[in-house]
Amino acid sequence: MSASNVAPPRDRFLAFAFAGADLLVEASPDGRITFAAGAFRQRLRMEPEQAIGRHLRSLVALPDRVGLSLALDALAARGRVPPMVVRLNDPARTPATFAALLVPSTAPRVCVTIGPVPTMAEASGSTEADSTGFAREAEARLRDGGGGEVALIEVRNWKQVKEHLSGEDQRALRTGIAETLGARGEVGLAREIADGCFGVLVQSSDDVAGVLSRLSALVRGSPAGQLARVEGLGLSLAADALSPSQAARALRYALSQFRIGGVEAARTVGGGEGLNGVLSRAEWRARLLRPAIAERKFELKYQPVVSLVSGGTHHYEALLRPAPALLGPGQTTQDFVVFVEAVGLTEELDLAVAETALAALRTHPQASVAVNVSGLSLQSEAFRDRLLAMLADPAAAGPEVARRLLVELTETVEVDDMATTAASIAAFRNFGVPVCLDDFGAGAAAFRYLREFQIDYVKIDGLYVRRAPQGARERSFLTSMVDLAAGVGARVIVEQVETEEQAQLMRLLGVEFGQGWLFGRPGVLPGVTAR
């Protein structure tokens, strides 16, 4: 790695670890580059030192500089530029992912990472569909005001296609799909959301039609041509009648339905009518759901979180299990939560779950329990006041019971009102209720939360646990996150620990607590918690 002659501080290398970037740049608030490191010679045919003093715009191709300037202009208000696709200022105009973070201090600086564009070809090498990752990318586009559409594309009869084709023909077809839907110029970022279902971020309905036409031609010309057909739907990201939060919730709901039931399911929930239509059609179901929440038509299962040193249980996580009648065909608990968020019932559900968990704590005097709380709820002063009143009420909890409750901030919804959320977290901690940041590393917002909020625990996303045994590079990600959490005084929990090999590796990396099937599956709350 080449770099300027300024010794980069520790957080620069952390940025590389988390971003998987080719280029790392720092700039002054006016966009002038003050530090540069990485593969400048390979990507831009210059030495890193030659970039010093230039404007960030100079790194991208001329046609993309206006869009980049608009994104940078929003830095002061938003604090970051979500990952966006630009073309580099090289002869090939190579597509790249650009992301920036404003680091406030006495001498503010802009930290920029530039890396490869994730493509369908890369995703096709994985056995895991990336519905969560695509939803985050689509939401970033939505919140950034970039407009465009989400092309929801389904290859019908995909299961039969896979059964019909030989292994070599399957690989050839998947490679062709990856190349057709891959991030190329006007198309944008693409992901496989579920088996045979794909999402692509595009600029217009014409792009949706173009992608459908190219993919249909590919499938017709393959050995699967007699079995498969391609269907698609363009979901517009224009939502002038909705708040940014409402639009983001509607988008997540539409994508969750597409993951479950393909194009027909997305169309049924109003996807063809845009995000306004999705939210409008959801209202009737919300009217049925509100009384079900009030009547507590759900149960909580409790999974232990243990000390990786002593093996004793530190606390339990309360996991929501809705009554089967509340779940549609093929729906998971996560799909249910996404719908609750979409229709604005999050506060009611989170309060009901907290009340149920507190009742369990009253009958299990040695246990501690963590409950998940949405970022939507923590942005609400009314929610904060109601939960604090519940904690103070001797009939519901009281200080002794309240001190055995933990709050886990989930990242299914990005926090917009940082000040109110910080005030809610401070109020709970002042009452003796510690706060945990859930799914750390699953999205870029978690790093912003760690900087802005006083957090007691960090729960690292299970993806890093699964990948850590694969090699030194994967372990470096986890080590960096453990170090980062320790630097702000937060204790670390890892989830989805399923083997003793994973547990031992987590111990070696300095992780304090673990959660997963190795230590116990979700079940009833035991009466005694070991420390």
Q: What is the pLDDT of residue 299?
A: 95
d(CA 71, CA 81) in angstroms, rounded, equals 6
SS3 content of the chain, % helix, strand, coil (to 5): 45, 20, 30
Give residue 528's pLDDT.
44
Angle at 378 (CA atoms; ends 373, 382), nearest 5 degrees: 115
Provide the CATH topology of domain 120-281: Alpha-Beta Plaits (3.30.70)
Per-residue CA distances from 155 to 14, 25, 166, 360 (Å): 40, 41, 18, 47
- Residue 229 CA to residue 227 CA, distance in Å, equals 7
Domain boundaries, the chain: 2-115, 120-281, 296-515
Phi/psi of residue 66, nearest 5 degrees? -65, -45
Type of residue at 23: L
Say if residue 62 is exposed, middle or buried (CB neighbours under 10 Å; 0-12, 13-18, 19+).
exposed
Beta carbons of 458 and 482 less than 8 angstroms apart:
no
| pLDDT tens digits along 120-175 | 544 443 434 556 767 877 887 787 666 788 999 999 988 888 888 888 888 888 88
- What is the rounded distance in angstroms from the CA atom of residue 312 to the CA atom of residue 316? 11
CATH architecture of residue range(s) 296-515:
Alpha-Beta Barrel (3.20)
Q: CA 78, CA 24: separation in Å to the nearest integer?
A: 20
* 32: its two tokens: 């002038």
pLDDT in tens, the chain (531 residues): 344 444 344 454 444 444 456 788 899 988 999 988 888 888 898 998 999 999 999 999 887 787 677 778 777 766 777 677 788 888 878 878 888 888 777 778 888 888 876 555 444 434 345 567 678 778 877 876 667 889 999 999 888 888 888 888 888 888 888 778 764 434 457 788 888 899 888 878 888 888 889 889 988 888 888 888 899 999 998 877 888 888 888 898 899 899 888 999 999 999 999 999 998 888 777 888 899 999 999 999 999 999 999 999 999 999 999 999 888 777 889 889 888 988 889 999 999 999 999 999 999 988 999 999 999 999 999 999 999 999 999 888 888 899 999 999 987 777 888 999 999 999 999 999 999 999 887 765 677 788 889 999 999 988 889 888 887 766 777 887 888 888 889 999 999 999 999 999 999 999 999 999 999 999 998 854 433
Query: Is CATH 3.30.1240.10 the right assignment for the domain spanning 2-115?
Result: no
Residue 477's Cβ-side half-sphere holds a number of Cα atoms within 13 Å equal to 21
- Pair 378, 417: CB distance under 8 Å: no
Whether residue 51 contacts residue 76, with contact meaning beta carbons closer than 8 Å, is answered with no
| Six-digit token string for 96 | 């790249």
Position 140 scores a pLDDT of 74
pLDDT score for 354: 96
Backbone angles phi, psi at 241, to 5 degrees: -80, -5
The DSSP code sequence of 387-427 is: HHHHHH-TTT--HHHHTTEEEEE--SS--S-HHHHHHHHHH
Q: Which pLDDT value is given to residue 130?
A: 58
Look at residues 96, 94, 64, 66 and name the one whose alpha carbon lies nearest to residue 83: 96
Within 8 A by CB and 6+ apart from 459, the residues are 408, 436, 437, 438, 439, 440, 492, 493, 494, 495, 515
Evaluate whether 44 touches 89 at the Cβ level (below 8 Å). Answer: yes
Q: Are 406 and 428 in contact (CB under 8 A)?
A: no
What pLDDT score was predicted for residue 58?
A: 92
> Helix (H, G, I), strand (E, B), or coil: what is residue 26?
strand
* pLDDT score for 279: 87
Q: Is the dihedral of CA 326, 409, 469, 112 positive or negative?
A: positive
Query: Pick from 440, 452, 451, 514: which is nearest to 480 by CA?
Result: 440
pLDDT of residue 147: 73
User: Do 2-115 and 296-515 share a fold?
Assistant: no
Rounded Cα distance between 58 and 33, Å, is: 10
Q: Are 246 and 239 in contact (CB under 8 A)?
A: yes
The residue type found at 459 is K
* Closest alpha carbon to 80 in 55, 112, 121: 112
